[in-house]
Amino acid sequence: MSWYYIEGILINCGYVLMVVLGLSLLTGFTGLFSFGHAGFMAIGAYAAALCTLYLHIPYIPALIIGGLAAMLAGLFLGSFTLKLKGDYFCIATLGFGEAVRLIFDNVQALGGARGLSGMAMKTTLPVVLTVSAVAVAALVCLINSRHGRNMVAIREDELAAQVSGINVFRYKMMALAISALYAGIGGGLLAHYMGYIQPAMFKMVKSTEYTIIVIFGGLGSVTGSVVGTLLLTFLPELLREFENWRLVIYGLAVIIIMISRPRGLMGGTELRIGSLIRFFKNPFGFFRKRGAAGEEGGQGHA
Residues of this chain that bind another protein (CB under 8 A):
138, 141-142, 144-150, 152-153, 156-157, 159-168, 174, 268, 291-292, 294-295, 298-299, 301-302
Q: Shortest gap between Cβ of 301 and another protein (angstroms)?
A: 8
Q: Residue 25 or 116: which CB sits closer to another protein? A: 25
CB 259, CB 248: distance < 8 Å = no
- 48 vs 22: CA distance, rounded Å: 18
Residue 96 Cα distances to 37, 57, 288, angstroms: 9, 28, 48
- 72 vs 118: CA distance, rounded Å: 26
Q: Residue 150 or 207: which CB sits closer to another protein? A: 150
Neighbouring-strand partners of residue 6: none
53 alpha carbon, distance to own chain's centre:
26
- Helix, strand, coil in percent for the chain, rounding step 5: 80, 0, 20
Q: Shortest gap between Cβ of 266 and another protein (angstroms)?
A: 14
Q: Residue 113 or 137: which CB sits closer to another protein? A: 137
Q: Residue 244 or 299: which CB sits closer to another protein? A: 299
Q: Residue 283 or 291: which CB sits closer to another protein? A: 291
Q: Shortest gap between Cβ of 110 and another protein (angstroms)?
A: 32
- 252 vs 267: CA distance, rounded Å: 19
Q: Residue 110 or 152: which CB sits closer to another protein? A: 152
Buried b (16+ CB within 10 A) or exposed e, 179-204: bbbbbbbbbbbbbbbbeebbbebbee
For residue 43, which of 217, 180, 233, 172 has the smallest C-alpha distance? 180
Q: Residue 36 or 184: which CB sits closer to another protein? A: 184
Q: Shortest gap between Cβ of 260 and another protein (angstroms)?
A: 20
Q: Residue 149 or 261: which CB sits closer to another protein? A: 149
The length of the chain, given as a count of residues = 302
Residue 196 is inside which H or E element, if any? strand 196-197
For residue 270, which of 29, 31, 20, 14 has the smallest C-alpha distance? 29
Gyration radius from the chain CA atoms = 20
